[in-house]
Amino acid sequence: MKKIHMMGVSGSGMSGVASLASKMGYTVTGCDLKTGGHNKKHLNGIDLLIVSPAVLYQSKNEPELLIAKKKKIVMTWEEFVAKFLMKNKFVIAIAGTHGKSTTTAMIGKMMIDNGFDPTVLIGAKIPEWNGNSRYGKSKYFVIEADEFNDNFLHYKPEIAIVNNIEFDHPDYFKNKKQFKDSFDKFIKQLVGEKILISEKDSLNKKFKLKVFGKHNQKNANMAYLLGKRLGISDQKIIKSLENFNGIGRRMEEISDNIFDDYAHHPTAIKTTLQGLRKKYPTKKILAIIEPHGYKRTKALLNLYDGVFDSVDKVIIGPIYKARDEIDKTISSEMVAKASNHPNAKVTNDVANISKNNNDIVIFMGAGNSNQWALNFVNNNISFKDLTTLKIGGKIKYFFEVRNKKELVEKVGFAKKNKVAIIILGGGSDILAGDRNFNGVVIKYINNKLQIIGSNVIAGAGVIWDDLVKETVDKNFSGIECLSGIPGTVGAAPIQNIGAYGQELSDTFVSLTAYDIENRKFTKFNKDACHFGYRKSIFKDKKYWQKFIITDVVFKLNKNKNLDLNKIRQDILKIRDEKLENPKDIPNAGSFFINPFVNLKTKERLEKKYPDMKFYPVDDKFKIFAGFLIEKAGWKGKSLGPVKVSDKHALVITNPQGIGHFKDIIKLVEAITKDVYKKFGLKLEPEVQYINI
């Protein structure tokens, strides 16, 4: 059995199986209704036709399937995985109505982090793997075990995890008893030591997770229990879980304050929304819901009561036709009514949903809602959503790209349509104009991070402070004083970020950037970047917005003497005391560059202002711009809807999020004028102006 064809290959499970099978020596071909359709010619020369359960329901009369059935070469992907890919493997299967994808991903990461090198198969996309499966060379095979169609009864795990059991899939299971009986059968499939971990075993440990919500705490507890069974230490388990970044379509922030979530069972929806409310207690939240399947919606209708209570407004779209037939006795209006939410509306026009005055928007469903979310982002995204100052006009084309291939494609799109390109990182050093931008905005979000020896290779999308934390945790010194600086790794070299005696250029080795004009990737070593004080060649007008940085290499030192974690925590504490957090109060970080003066000017200012501090740098002297602004009387002062921070005069804030580009410029001009009048020094902005 070496040649297989996969019918429905783009499915959430099938795509992962196809990837694994090809890496395990099979010749794999595939078809899908979305990519070319089905054809009986696909059967030529194959040993097996692998199908998803959905194909058996939705394409049961396809000649390709019917002929293969006559030849007795049809097998569901779950059967194929169990009979062939799991052969001679130590199987760990994660089941349950809710949370199995996230729990499986947490377990996969934990085992990878601790040297188990497992093969993992999940029904969701894992950003770090750029897919939903991961091939490992060890004996371990970790799988999300789905109960629909009794799929999980094909597996014979040595360890089984059952997160929870709540009635679901009424299009297959006739009643709650049949549903529970299926789980009982699954548990009886255990082999070897027959280890079962269930919700009743939880220790209720509290983790400092990056993913929020009580449900994720429960998922982490199940992963923790498995880790202990595998002999992993508490410290290593907790470190892995607390560095877990989440999975695709599980409270995935696809744009600033716009989330996409797979939840479609009423209980999962309720739990997820409660987690979102706890995360954003004062924000106005809009939820767009896609009920999943006519039979499921009808069978679970009474469970919708109170499900949306955590949010301010609910819009319910058309019911997704899953594996069942259209049933006119159930409707979206009935879901809205059953929810008893005072602000629940129904629409068939999901393409024209707008953000309006809502702060947070979440799309929920397992059918078309993902596309609704992506369309919403493209129709509603603005620089206000993408910058920490929360200012700027609408964007016509916005693309988040995860790898170099996607980057080349999106730049090609802009060139083909003859529109301008703007590149964004974390948006923390940006002031955008209020006009609508009719071009392409590209945000490169590759967040791959590797440490090889003393070299650190970081994708441009890695959050800068995550990089610092990771290196400090591994006891590497060189960037610990740059803790807490907002933004991404890709933006950091542009202005040669620095703080407390360290600069990025101290540890910088090289970077790779995509040349937009010449359409090629170019490597820049340290000399080629021409680093200076808060600047590099990429801040020069000739280079600014003409290169997209994709990854950066640093060389750090293995530390033997310093307590790097203490240094990091001290700096984070100082920054918290001195600077405004952009997540709490919109700002762009340090707005002005610290000016430098010559000896003559220094002596003049010293006579007039004895408390002014000067810091020698080569043959000049640095003065803190924040000191000048404060002495000019601007600290804590407002001008219209924008304000100079109460904490630090170097930071300009947009406290209510209602300020505009012109308001910031008016304040900047007033500050610059007063500082010049008082000290004879002209301040220059550190923040980059775009779309003006």
User: 443 CB contacts (<8 Å, ≥6 apart)?
Assistant: 386, 398, 399, 400, 401, 423, 424, 425, 461
Rounded to an integer, what distance in angstroms lies between the CA atom of residue 655 and that of residue 658? 8
Q: What CA–CA distance (Å, rounded) separates 41 from 8?
A: 15
Rounded distance between C-alpha atoms, residue 618 and residue 292, angstroms: 66
Measure the CA–CA gap between 523 and 506, rounded to whole angstroms: 18
CA distances from 403 to 411, 422, 524 (A): 12, 17, 19
Residue 537's closest CA among 548, 529, 546?
A: 529
Pull the structure tokens for residue 625. 């711009």
Rounded (10°) CA dihedral 134, 137, 142, 144: 30
128 is catalytic: no
Structure tokens at 612: 């002014």
| CA dihedral angle for residue 470, residue 475, residue 476, residue 479, rounded to 10 degrees | 60
> At 433, which amino acid appears?
G
Strands (E) located in 629-671: 638-639, 642-644, 651-653
Rounded (10°) angle between helices 564-578 and 464-473:
150
The yes-or-no answer on residue 686 being catalytic is: yes
Identify the active-site residue in 402, 534, 606, 630.
534
CB count in 10 Å sphere of residue 463: 17
CA distance 86 to 83: 6
Question: Which amino acid, one-letter code, is at 571?
Answer: I
Query: Distance between CA 491 and CA 547 in Å, rounded?
Result: 11
DSSP state letter for 462: S
Among residues 195, 253, 245, 251, which one has the least CA distance to residue 225?
A: 195
CB 402 within 8 A of CB 130: yes
As a whole number of angstroms, the distance between CA 383 and CA 387 comes to 6
**What are the CA-CA distances from residue 11 to residues 84, 196, 295 (Å)?**
20, 29, 21
Tokens found for residue 638: 């407002």
Q: Is 249 a catalytic residue?
A: no
DSSP 97: S
Which of these is catalytic: 101, 536, 590, 645?
590
| Chain centre distance of CA 575 | 25
The string of DSSP letters for 578-623 reads HS--TTTS-EEEE-BPPPEE-HHHHHHHHHH-TT---EEETTEEE-
**What is d(CA 318, CA 198) in angstroms, rounded to the nearest whole number?**
36
Distance CA 442, CA 140 (A): 39
Active-site residue list: 534, 590, 686
